[in-house]
Amino acid sequence: MALKATIFKAELQIADMDRHYYHDHSLTFAQHPSETDERMMVRLLAFALNADDALAFGKGLSTEDEPALWQKDLTGAIDLWIEVGTPDEREIRKACGRAKQVIVYSYGGRTAELWRQQNRDKLERLKNLSVINLPGAATQALVKLARRAMQLQCTIQDGQIWLADDHDQVELNPLTLKSAESPEC
């Protein structure tokens, strides 16, 4: 018998001073049976960092042609494709061909560093790709915020991120490993 996904709900208050985005989101999303709490919380963090009314969670790990998160325009064209972890380089290339912008939030400490070293040259060629590394200790600390029903506050200022509930707070200092090139006007 196949295991079923676990449903999570989050009330997420975002104060992003870097983007001047201040909004509350009521989110419902699924955790695939093989997905760790750390990966799930990194997906939630990626939502907060790119929050928009059109941003949506993908169907999950079992669906190959969908990212962790994506944002489509009214015509169905993909504006933003977001992956978390250390995705296969071929999948990233395919995503860069389908979306205007692709962001990978890597995490996992040494694993993320090895992934970066192995794929650096191939990823550098992708003009619409950004790669942001999240420190391993901080993403592991996000797990203590994971609950089936969450009320979280996310503050983003000067590139620093604070994610908190009533009991715990996690500070993250992401490192941009690769920035997408600005589209020419």
The residue extents of the domains of the chain are 6-178
pLDDT at 46 over 60: yes
pTM, two decimal places: 0.93
Q: What is the mean pLDDT of the chain?
A: 93
As given in the structure block, the two tokens for residue 44 are: 């939630």
Distance CA 49, CA 61 (A): 21
Taking 80 as the threshold, does the pLDDT of residue 2 lie above it?
no
Spatial contact of 50 and 80, defined as CB atoms under 8 Å apart: yes
Q: Is 32 within 8 Å of 61 (Cβ atoms)?
A: yes
pLDDT at residue 185 is higher than 60: no
Both structure tokens of 69: 């998160």
Q: pLDDT by residue (tens digit) across 101-122? A: 999 999 988 999 999 999 999 9
AA letter at 124: E
Domain 6-178: CATH class, spelled out: alpha beta
In angstroms, the CA 55 to CA 63 distance is 18
**123-163 pLDDT, tens digit each:** 999 999 999 999 999 999 999 999 999 999 999 999 999 99
